[in-house]
A and B are shown apart, each in its own frame.
Chain A
Amino acid sequence: NAGVTQTPKFQVLKTGQSMTLQCAQDMNHEYMSWYRQDPGMGLRLIHYSVGAGITDQGEVPNGYNVSRSTTEDFPLRLLSAAPSQTSVYFCASSYDGGGEKLFFGSGTQLSVL
């Protein structure tokens, strides 16, 4: 049982480059979300999805796009990376949206130079 899998674990980008952070879960969870973690700021919600075909913005959505074409996958796209997007990114999923069942991936550490 893999749980929530994020790839890659580490990535270095140059300003202006684009990339996609992958997130997959094998628990048939309806709810998936992306957070970024910055020192001294806790985790902030970027985008979330309550089911396939449905996405919505979180607290800090600018500069990021998401899609949810399948229940399993919830990729996060950076269209034109900026140094302000240097952060650790966490994907999370849950069966019913309740935080008591929120499972986190191990994170992607992204540096934008």
Chain B
Amino acid sequence: GEDVEQSLFLSVREGDSSVINCTYTDSSSTYLYWYKQEPGAGLQLLTYIFSNMDMKQDQRLTVLLNKKDKHLSLRIADTQTGDSAIYFCACGSSNTGKLIFGQGTTLQVKP
């Protein structure tokens, strides 16, 4: 089946930039998402990108998409302690609400 892979852990210092990477196998994915999960909570959509785009910027967040390599990244500028959470990459290819999620990357922000 289709697969989405992420590294499991990233640690950065407050004020630095964080880059979380994701690779996927489904070349037909039309939507690629980044979700944030804080402890004990559900998933919150951070941002998403359509497959016909290669970059999307939203305040401190920058999403880069390399369709050729099937690689997605999320850059968080000026990372704050409140950004500490698990970040999930997800891909979807049809309007069914079916998403394939990565394992999640735990972001630790040290003061």
Residues of A within 8 A of B (CB): 4, 31-33, 35, 40-45, 48, 50, 58-59, 90, 92-94, 96-100, 102, 104-107
**Contact present for B33 and A99 (CB under 8 Å):** yes
**Contact present for A105 and B42 (CB under 8 Å):** yes
**Contact present for A94 and B97 (CB under 8 Å):** yes
**Contact present for B88 and A107 (CB under 8 Å):** no
Give the docked Cα–Cα distance between A90 and B44 (Å): 12
Beta-carbon contacts under 8 Å, B41-71 to A: 41-45, 48
Place the interface of chain B in its size category. 20 to 34
**Contact present for B41 and A99 (CB under 8 Å):** no
Known: A42-B88, A98-B97, A99-B99. 6 other contacts (CB 8 A): A41-B103, A45-B100, A50-B96, A97-B96, A99-B45, A106-B40
Give the docked Cα–Cα distance between A32 and B97 (Å): 7
Q: A96: which B residues are within 8 A, CB to CB?
A: 95
Minimum C-beta distance from A103 to chain B (A): 8
- Is residue B77 within 8 Å, beta carbon to beta carbon, of the partner chain? no
A-B contact pairs, 22 of them (CB 8 A): A31-B95, A40-B8, A40-B103, A42-B88, A42-B102, A42-B104, A43-B88, A48-B97, A90-B43, A92-B43, A92-B97, A96-B95, A98-B97, A99-B45, A99-B48, A99-B90, A99-B97, A100-B31, A102-B45, A102-B97, A105-B42, A107-B41
Q: B40: which A residues are within 8 A, CB to CB?
A: 106-107
Contact A98 B45, CB 8 Å, known A42-B102, A42-B103: no
Give the docked Cα–Cα distance between A54 and B6 (Å): 33
Of all chain A residues, the one with the shortest Cβ separation from B50 is: A100
**Contact present for A97 and B97 (CB under 8 Å):** yes
Of all chain B residues, the one with the shortest Cβ separation from A49 is: B97
Minimum C-beta distance from A53 to chain B (A): 16
